[in-house]
């Protein structure tokens, strides 16, 4: 009996002990993920934080900025593109038809994805600047902050051109208070001032040869200068644009590839013509260039394209190439040999083909072709355009355009149209940009920066009858206005 009693006391003691000194802790210490509070203390942390800003150019999966979204949300609204036979989303088809409204979800995503990227850049800038000098080398610290600034400028430059009325957020959002969430729109000038200031800081980045091979693809001083020249061009600060373009040319860091095809060749990626590219690598557990599959056919046996982005035939861009111009057949494809049955299939309409990778023939989404955010040919065309605006079509302006045309196998403008007026030369440069950069997310920006009248004229000429002046900007997403009482809609879209 005493034995039983002892068992009983043991019980009681055990229970009391358990309830007093609970062996369970309520503090959460995730073992498989890091927590922001304890991060950003070392150089390696800082590098991974900046890498995360680059990653916003394209996420792994789905439609993110330079992996489909700009194509879908922006380029569809131009004269050269339309929603393909397999574009199943009514929002996308609305953009293509210019019947989109203030709640178009692709435009919402452009806004969201850009601010996501900006928040990551802000985090990198804030946190890396605060790392103790004992834990990071001063050079690396400065470089990383400037890389983040370059990317922040890149995204703000997109946003201001798309939406015009945008809040300027320059620090990480750390609290959920209304003050920190409900930010007012900045003026266009304020935003551009910030873009220019960030890019000026970013000009201190290393030269293209200043990076080791394991850092190739990061923003360089050249990237910053080139983007700065484009910002000035967009702002019609012609002298500054010309000067900055000239500065890039004079660095000697860049040149055109002899073969236009090399600009889209995985073997020559990050080459002498590439000033800044979004990096892709297929078949490697990494991300392939999604644009390659979006525009690829699925009607040829063995090729599983998505056929969702299509060339808008009524613009007749395809027919405007000179027969000797190699760019047409690199940008488009009209005949495909099936990898399955070996037969040649003639396509009903030319398909966009710039990001096609021979090594990913049957599985186009594994394309390793980088997205060329900025190529040297654009610097030449910016230079030509800016010079023309300053002094009319000078020989130097002709020369810059003709470098681009000759490399493509096209005739020289100086030969075929030697005495253009300033207006006609401007149109020629724009047409050159169109041919050179089709599918490189330039067309919408080029159309909109020449103003509403030009945009509407060009779109109507291409059969997009719904085009209106308000379409040179996107509406501020209605959701943002609903959530943030400090935001106002673009008056054109009210």
Partner 1 sequence: MTEVKRNKQILRYLLIAVSLIVGSITTLAQSLKGKVVDSRTQEPIIGAHVSIKGDKNTTAGTTTDIDGKFNINVKHYPTALVVSYTGYNNEEIDVYEVTNDEIEISLNENFNAIENVVVIGYGKQKKADLTGAVSAVSIDNIKNVSTSSFNSALSGTIPGLQVTPTSGQPGGGVSIRVRGGSSVQGGNEPLYVIDGFPIYSDNTSAGATSGSATNPLASINPGDIASITVLKDASATAIYGSRGANGVVIVTTKKGTFNQKTKVSYEGTVGWQSLRKKYDVINAHDFAILRNEVLAVTYPNLGEYQYKSQAEIDALGNGTDWQDEAFRNAFQTNHQLSISGGSDKISYALSGGYYNQDGIIINTDYERLSGRANIFAKVSKSIDVGVNVSLSRSKANVAPSSVVSSIILMPSTATIYEADGSYTLRNPFEMEFSNPIASLKEQTNKNIKSNILATAFSEWEIIKNLKLKVQFGVNSENTKENSYVPSYIYEGSASDGIAKLGFINRYSWLNENTLTYNFGIKDNHFDVLLGFTQQQDHVEIAKTGSSNFVTDKLKSSSLESGSITLTPSSSESENSLISYLGRINYNFKEKYFISASLRTDGSSRFGKDNKWGVFPSVGGSWAVSKEEFFAPVAKTISNLKLRASYGVTGNQEIGNYQSLATLASSSYFFGQKVTCFSPTRISNSKLGWESTAQFDLGIDSDFLNGRLQISADYYYKKTHDLLLSVEIPWTSGFSSSLQNFGSVSNQGFEFAVTSHNFTRKFKWDTSFNISLNRNKVLSLGNGATSYTSGNYIVEVGKPLGTFYGSVTDGILQADEIETKGTYTGLAELVAGDQLYKDINDDGTYTTSGDRTDIGNAQPDFIFGLNNNFEYKGFDLNIQITGQVGNKLFNQNAQYLALYTGQQNAAAEAVNRYTTSNPSTTLPRAKLDPAPIFSDRFVEDGSFVRVKNLTLGYNFNKKIARSIGLSALRLYVSATNLITLTKYSGFDPEVTSGDNTVSQGTDYGIYPVARSYNFGILLNF
* 419 near partner 1, rule: CB under 8 A: no
Name which position in 79, 131, 144, 167 contacts partner 1 (CB under 8 A): 167
Which residues, at least 6 apart from 74, have a Cβ–Cβ distance to it below 8 Å?
110, 162, 441, 444
Using CA of residue 106, residue 108, residue 111, residue 114, what is the dihedral sign?
negative
| Dist. CA 408–CA 377, nearest whole Å | 11
**Interaction with partner 1 in 325-364: which residues (CB under 8 A)?**
348, 362-363
* 207 near partner 1, rule: CB under 8 A: no
Name which position in 34, 207, 416, 461 contacts partner 1 (CB under 8 A): 34
Name which position in 173, 268, 399, 411 contacts partner 1 (CB under 8 A): 173
3-state secondary structure 296-360: CCCCCCCCCCCCCEEECHHHCCHHHCCCCCCHHHHHEEEEEECCCCCCEEEEEEEEECCCCCHHH
Segment lying near partner 1 (by CB under 8 A), choices 232-240, 259-267, 393-401, 474-482: 474-482
Joined tokens for residue 417:
């149209």
Segment lying near partner 1 (by CB under 8 A), choices 111-119, 149-157, 322-330, 410-418: 111-119
Name which position in 2, 21, 134, 175 contacts partner 1 (CB under 8 A): 175
* 268 near partner 1, rule: CB under 8 A: no
Size of the site for partner 1 (CB under 8 A): 109
* 482 near partner 1, rule: CB under 8 A: yes
Are 99 and 90 in contact by the 8 Å Cβ rule? The answer is no
The minimum distance between CB 93 and partner 1, in angstroms, equals: 5
| Nearer Cβ to partner 1 (53/447) | 53
Segment lying near partner 1 (by CB under 8 A), choices 177-185, 393-401, 405-413, 417-425: 177-185
Q: Taking the CB of residue 158, how many other CB atoms lie within 10 A of it?
A: 19
* 97 near partner 1, rule: CB under 8 A: yes
Name which position in 204, 239, 283, 391 contacts partner 1 (CB under 8 A): 283
Name which position in 187, 251, 284, 391 contacts partner 1 (CB under 8 A): 284
Name which position in 6, 251, 424, 466 contacts partner 1 (CB under 8 A): 466
Segment lying near partner 1 (by CB under 8 A), choices 69-77, 91-99, 143-151, 254-262: 91-99
Are 344 and 281 in contact by the 8 Å Cβ rule? The answer is no
| Dist. CA 478–CA 358, nearest whole Å | 43
| Nearer Cβ to partner 1 (287/408) | 287
Joined tokens for residue 99:
């019947």
| Dist. CA 204–CA 429, nearest whole Å | 31
What SS3 class is residue 101?
Answer: coil
| Nearer Cβ to partner 1 (100/375) | 100
Q: Taking the CB of residue 342, how many other CB atoms lie within 10 A of it?
A: 9
Are 233 and 386 in contact by the 8 Å Cβ rule? The answer is yes
* 267 near partner 1, rule: CB under 8 A: no
* 489 near partner 1, rule: CB under 8 A: no
Are 63 and 70 in contact by the 8 Å Cβ rule? The answer is no
Name which position in 232, 280, 430, 444 contacts partner 1 (CB under 8 A): 280
Helix axes 221-234 and 138-163, enclosed angle (nearest 10) = 20
Name which position in 6, 62, 99, 324 contacts partner 1 (CB under 8 A): 99
Q: Is 67 exposed, middle or buried (0-12, 13-18, 19+ CB in 10 A)?
A: buried
* 39 near partner 1, rule: CB under 8 A: yes
* 86 near partner 1, rule: CB under 8 A: yes
Segment lying near partner 1 (by CB under 8 A), choices 27-35, 68-76, 247-255, 376-384: 27-35
| Nearer Cβ to partner 1 (107/245) | 107
| Dist. CA 297–CA 305, nearest whole Å | 5
* 461 near partner 1, rule: CB under 8 A: no
The minimum distance between CB 341 and partner 1, in angstroms, equals: 11
Between the CA atoms of 92, 96, 98 and 102, what dihedral angle is there, to the nearest 10 degrees? 20
| Nearer Cβ to partner 1 (91/375) | 91
What SS3 class is residue 120?
Answer: helix
Q: Taking the CB of residue 460, how many other CB atoms lie within 10 A of it?
A: 14
* 217 near partner 1, rule: CB under 8 A: yes
| Nearer Cβ to partner 1 (89/135) | 89
């Amino acid at each position: 009996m005493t034995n039983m009693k002892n068992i009983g006391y043991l019980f009681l003691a055990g229970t009391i002990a358990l309830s007093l000194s609970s062996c369970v802790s309520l503090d959460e210490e995730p073992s498989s993920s890091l927590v922001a509070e304890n991060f950003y203390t070392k150089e390696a942390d800082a590098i991974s934080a900046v890498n995360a800003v680059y990653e916003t150019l394209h996420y792994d999966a789905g439609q993110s900025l330079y992996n489909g979204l700009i194509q879908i949300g922006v380029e569809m609204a131009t004269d050269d593109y339309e929603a393909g036979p397999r574009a199943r989303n009514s929002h996308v088809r609305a953009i293509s038809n210019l019947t989109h409204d203030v709640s178009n979800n692709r435009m919402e995503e452009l806004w969201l994805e850009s601010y996501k990227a900006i928040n990551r850049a802000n985090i990198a800038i804030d946190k890396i600047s605060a790392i103790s000098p004992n834990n990071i080398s001063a050079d690396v610290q400065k470089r990383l902050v400037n890389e983040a600034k370059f990317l922040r400028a890149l995204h703000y430059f997109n946003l201001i051109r798309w939406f015009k009325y945008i809040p300027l957020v320059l620090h990480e959002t750390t609290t959920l208070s209304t003050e920190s969430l409900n930010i007012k729109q900045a003026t266009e000038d304020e935003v551009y001032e910030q873009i220019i200031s960030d890019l000026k800081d970013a000009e201190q980045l290393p030269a293209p040869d200043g990076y080791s091979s394991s850092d190739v693809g990061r923003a360089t001083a050249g990237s910053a200068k080139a983007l700065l020249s484009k910002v000035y061009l967009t702002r019609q600060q012609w002298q500054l644009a010309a000067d900055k373009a000239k500065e890039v040319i004079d660095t000697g860091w860049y040149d055109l590839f002899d073969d236009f095809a090399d600009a889209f060749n995985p073997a020559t990626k990050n080459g002498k013509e590439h000033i800044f590219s979004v990096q892709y690598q297929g078949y490697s557990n990494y991300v392939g260039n999604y644009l390659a599959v979006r525009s690829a056919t699925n009607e040829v046996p063995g090729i599983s394209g998505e056929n969702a982005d299509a060339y808008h035939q009524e613009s007749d861009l395809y027919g405007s190439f000179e027969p000797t111009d190699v760019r047409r057949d690199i940008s488009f494809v009209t005949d495909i040999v099936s990898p399955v049955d070996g037969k040649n299939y003639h396509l009903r309409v030319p398909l966009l083909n710039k990001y096609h990778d021979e090594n990913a023939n049957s599985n186009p989404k594994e394309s390793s072709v980088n997205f060329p955010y900025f190529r040297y040919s654009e610097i030449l065309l910016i230079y030509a355009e800016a010079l023309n605006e300053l002094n009319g079509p000078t020989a130097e302006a002709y020369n810059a355009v003709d470098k681009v045309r000759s490399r493509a196998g096209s005739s020289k403008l100086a030969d075929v149209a030697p005495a253009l007026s300033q207006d006609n030369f401007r149109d020629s440069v724009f047409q050159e940009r169109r041919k050179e950069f089709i599918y490189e997310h330039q067309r919408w920006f080029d159309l909109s920066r020449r103003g509403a009248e030009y945009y509407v004229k060009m779109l109507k000429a291409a059969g997009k009858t719904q085009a209106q002046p308000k379409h040179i900007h996107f509406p501020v997403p209605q959701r943002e206005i609903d959530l943030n009482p400090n935001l106002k809609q673009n008056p054109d879209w009210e």
